[in-house]
Amino acid sequence: MYDLVAAALGAQQLTQAAQMLKQWQQKNPQDPWLKLAMGQYWEAKAELEKAQVTYTRLLQNTANSKVIGQAREGVQRVRDQLAQQREHNLSAAKQQPGAEAAAVLILEPVTGDRREAAVQGLARVMQIDAYTARTRLPSKNWRLLRAGPAGELQYLCEQLRAEGAPARWVKVKQIKALPTFRVQAIQAVDPQVTLTCHNSAGQKGTIQLAWGDITQWVVGQLPIYESVVDLDARGRLKRKDATQDYGEIIDWHLHGRGCILRFCDRAYRYRDAIPLPPADSFPSPLIATVAWKAMKRYFEDCITPAPRADFTGFGESALDLLELLPPFDSYVDLGRSLPSPWDGAFHLYSALRFLTQTKRAEDA
């Protein structure tokens, strides 16, 4: 029967081959030659993923040396065809308009029963081993996977999604074009929330909004480094940068207005702001740390949904890749003596949250 099926496949008589395979399966479904012929049938139909799975399972479950030899050859043929197909599709993606623009590719967390399939999909698409893929696929927070040309990252993103690994890509120019206003103080909360803030050019102005205008908000802590004196292994004094404190940022996302409002615990002007309700129990502006925490609790009572507070894990994955991106303003005021990549990582994270939420709304 195998020779008859092989002859039909060689003559491109796929319908006839399918009929013979069906009859064969009814008579002897465990025949390893049948499974080899099935792999060749999927290969002839150009359904390469199905062919690869069939050949691989055959290698794992049969002891017939002749079948194993042909299955190995089948696996290699399929791998070569998949590689050629990938190169062709990737080359086409790189030729699209705007394909050279800088972009970023992020992975979303995967847990539970879907995780192993997503790991295998990530390994195939990124052409890495399963162990490395398992360490790169996040389980709690977003991960910045790659920075590079938009055409390539869009192609990889589509492939990852098809393989069950949730991914998103965004052009850097979209991030740079997103208006971000640095809030100085809250002037009123009734009948509308009124804020004084600075735009990207440093111009001071006032923004009014309702609590319902805040579609999403993001909270992140950024390390504050200071130069300290320490002893090296030989007991000699040396200077090094060490984390001495953390600054906290709160971003309000206003998708209806297409902008971000950014609060910073070290730049907020507590003396110029009103005490938030209930005013008689709001902490004194002289105790900035306590006043900031009270303001944050007030936000939690007024804003739906809860804040996204998983920045740190993303930030750690982003630090090494930021240097590959075109420079962009971070709009973070922490009074640093030297710039820190953590500031850019937070702005990138918040902007990605904003832009991907917009894309979800458009797709809904």
Statement to judge: residues 337 and 227 lie in one domain: yes
Tell me the torsion sign for CA atoms 159, 160, 164, 167. Answer: negative
183 within domain boundaries: no
Statement to judge: residues 244 and 131 lie in one domain: no
**CATH code assigned at 56:** 1.25.40
Last residue of a domain, one of 41, 65, 93: 93
113 within domain boundaries: yes
Statement to judge: residues 223 and 337 lie in one domain: yes
Residues of the chain with pLDDT under 50: none
Domains contained in the chain, number: 3
185 within domain boundaries: no
Last residue of a domain, one of 149, 175, 201: 175
Domain region containing 162: 102-175
Statement to judge: residues 157 and 113 lie in one domain: yes
Statement to judge: residues 72 and 127 lie in one domain: no
At residue 241, the pLDDT reads 64
193 within domain boundaries: no
Statement to judge: residues 228 and 347 lie in one domain: yes
At residue 80, the pLDDT reads 78
With CA atoms as reference, report the closest residue to 223 among 198, 199, 210, 242: 242
**CATH code assigned at 141:** 3.30.1390.10
Statement to judge: residues 234 and 345 lie in one domain: yes
Statement to judge: residues 327 and 236 lie in one domain: yes
How is the beta sheet containing 216-231 ordered, strand by strand? 204-209, 193-198, 180-188, 259-264, 237-254, 216-231
Statement to judge: residues 321 and 246 lie in one domain: yes
Tokens encoding 94 = 């790189």
At residue 215, the pLDDT reads 96
What is the distance between the alpha carbons of residues 80 and 209, in angstroms, rounded to a whole number? 58
At residue 229, the pLDDT reads 58
At residue 239, the pLDDT reads 61
At residue 341, the pLDDT reads 92
Residue range 142-178, pLDDT digits in tens: 999 999 999 999 999 999 999 999 999 999 999 999 9
At residue 361, the pLDDT reads 56
Looking at the DSSP bridge assignments, the partners of residue 222 are 247
Tokens encoding 39 = 């792999």
CB-based burial, 150-181: b 16+ in 10 Å, e otherwise: bbbbbbbbebbeebbbbbbbbbbeebeebebb
Tell me, rounded to whole angstroms, the distance of Cα 167 from its chain centroid.
Answer: 6
Q: Identify whether the C-beta of residue 269 lies closer than 8 Å to the C-beta of residue 275.
A: no
48 within domain boundaries: yes
With CA atoms as reference, report the closest residue to 261 among 358, 185, 175: 185
Task: State the residue for tokens 């030659």.
Answer: 33
What is the distance between the alpha carbons of residues 357 and 364, in angstroms, rounded to a whole number? 11
64 within domain boundaries: yes
At residue 4, the pLDDT reads 85
Statement to judge: residues 88 and 107 lie in one domain: no
At residue 48, the pLDDT reads 83
Backbone angles phi, psi at 10, to 5 degrees: -65, -30
204 within domain boundaries: no
At residue 57, the pLDDT reads 86
Last residue of a domain, one of 72, 93, 114: 93
What is the distance between the alpha carbons of residues 17 and 19, in angstroms, rounded to a whole number? 5
Statement to judge: residues 139 and 219 lie in one domain: no
At residue 147, the pLDDT reads 95
Statement to judge: residues 76 and 109 lie in one domain: no
27 within domain boundaries: yes
